Amino acid sequence: MNRQGKEQLVKQYRSRQITHGIERAGHRALLYATGMEKEDFEKPLVAVVNSWNEIVPGHIHLRKLGECAKHGIVESGGIAKEFDTIALCDGMCQGHKGMSYPLPSREIIADSIEMMVQAHQFDAMVMLPGCDKTVPAHIMAALRIDIPTIIVTAGPMEAGRYKERSNLTLTDMREFVGQAQTGKISMDELSEIEKVACPGPGTCAMFGTANTMGCLTEVLGLSLPGCSTAMALQAEKEEFARKSGRQVLELLRREITPRKIVSEAALHNAIVADMALGGSTNSILHLMAIAREAHIRLDLDSFDRIGKIVPHLCNIKPSGKYAVRALGEHGGIPAVLKAVERFIKPEQLTVTGVTVKENLSGVTMVSGDVIHSVDDPLKKEGGLAVLRGNLAPDGAVVKQSAVKPSMFRFKGKAVVFHSMEDATEAVVNDRIKPGDVMVIRYEGPKGGPGMREMHMTTSLLVGRGMDESVALITDGRFSGSTRGPCIGHISPEAAMNGPIAAVRDGDIITIDIPARKLEVALSDQEIQDRLKTVVHPKKVKGGALARYAELVTSADKGAVLIAPSYEDEE
């Protein structure tokens, strides 16, 4: 960097609030205690926002990537200071009370980053998220703080192998449980499979929420092209971290911040890519929360409108047959964007300092079995669909790319549960029969609280071969790895006196994905009469979840937290 560039940078330093002036002598004394030297006070102070820990496979390797990012920052004349955020593993939280915590952790992570970065007046950030909620949380914080930022996502895990089967993912692992329970495989075989299904560090090898959001981070323009599909343990991922450390100083020099990147065009492009990828239903919650931090209005109708014109192109599990590695080997996100180029808004700025159009200028898209062309799609519509009806006046979401065509239209009798545990027990004990529609309520953002994923229940259904005879609807969520006729995010939720609270065993429920309908065979008056007698269970009395339940909005608003005094301003 030349002298003029350095002088321009100095004028922009927020960190001078703590490094310059006689009244900041105490601040400098504290910084000396961290190993800084006098000349370091003239350099930009860059936060390396890591999420490393030893319990989550998607994060266990991030310490090394943090070191690489710091090297890049120092090479470009910055001072790098690293700190950690919390990171929860949705996979380990599945099927028990711990599943109440991942979605609320999104807000806690974003808040904690805001507090750390604003308190210490960092000039820029390199962020290293990995698993499901960490990625949107880091993006939300980046937009809220709005200083130059680059995100280095953790990278996908390798797929597992067992005997003649390759491309094993956690989706398969959970479905093997259902097979073991019905005697299709032995318990010894299940034990062998669980040892090899997740062979090492990285985000789970299918298009679950982690890899979906990693890819969408790149589409939003907040990661360098190719970063999201660079495998967790490849040397290429370390180089992306180093390059990102160097590039963030260039963003600082040019005053390019996240809000200049995450525009309406960027969010449009993210939805387009999401549909082509067959991404997680959770991405809808997260993109809406991200839009709110960017001060951009985004609603469910935007997803459905785009989903009707952008086809599903990527043959990646759980909506296809390959693991995420294959996507990277066939060009990654740049190739996907090239495939949907006719649908995107190419003038969007990115962390490269140039637009999407310029980033794609040298990219060639070769269609095949991994990334199909728009003219030869896997499915004519995008991966996600929004349903409405008297059961979901404010909307519900389904990953239609993971639903078998025979279940696109389904009518059945309701079997109602007030918790995921009760529903799972019913499946295990063979109380669910072909033609049933499982209704799991009081699992929404407020009612859960925490909007748990119903993945344990859905995996057992698929493992038992019931995904073509039984449907499941809920005001809760699903894992990104869920497949089958599973409709979630029903809004309003039961705890907010939504119509799902009025459903009783035996009511006839109609699902029509092509028509975007979710209906119960009750009149509006019958629903209202039933709701008058409903007593809503209160599941928590204190702690973080009680506070969350008081402040969280509905799923159709992204399940973000809004203080009551600010609701009128929304």
Torsion of CA 159, 472, 466, 407, to 10 degrees: -90
- How far, in Å, CA of 391 to CA of 414, rounded? 12
Q: How far is CA 469 from CA 76, 236, 277, 451, in A?
A: 59, 45, 26, 26
Q: What angle do CA 100, 103, 109 make, to 5 degrees?
A: 120
- How far, in Å, CA of 63 to CA of 67, rounded? 6
- How far, in Å, CA of 232 to CA of 157, rounded? 6
Residue type, 329: E
Q: Give the helix/strand (H/E) hosting 517.
A: strand 517-520
Whose structure tokens read 């859905």?
458
- How far, in Å, CA of 350 to CA of 355, rounded? 6
244, 263, 479, 554: the active-site residue:
479
Helices assigned H by DSSP within 294-323: 300-307
- Are residues 312 and 398 in contact, defined by beta-carbon separation less than 8 angstroms? no
For residue 186, indicate whether it is catalytic.
no
Helix (H, G, I), strand (E, B) or coil at 416: strand
Full 3-state SS string of 169-230: CHHHHHHHHHHHHCCCCCHHHHHHHHHHCCCCCCECCCCCHHHHHHHHHHHHCCCCCCCCCC
Token couple for 203: 């985000």
- How far, in Å, CA of 420 to CA of 457, rounded? 7
Find the distance separating the first CA and the last CA of the chain, reported in whole Å: 43
Residue whose C-alpha is closest to residue 304's, from 372, 383, 213, 373: 383
Residues serving a catalytic function are 479
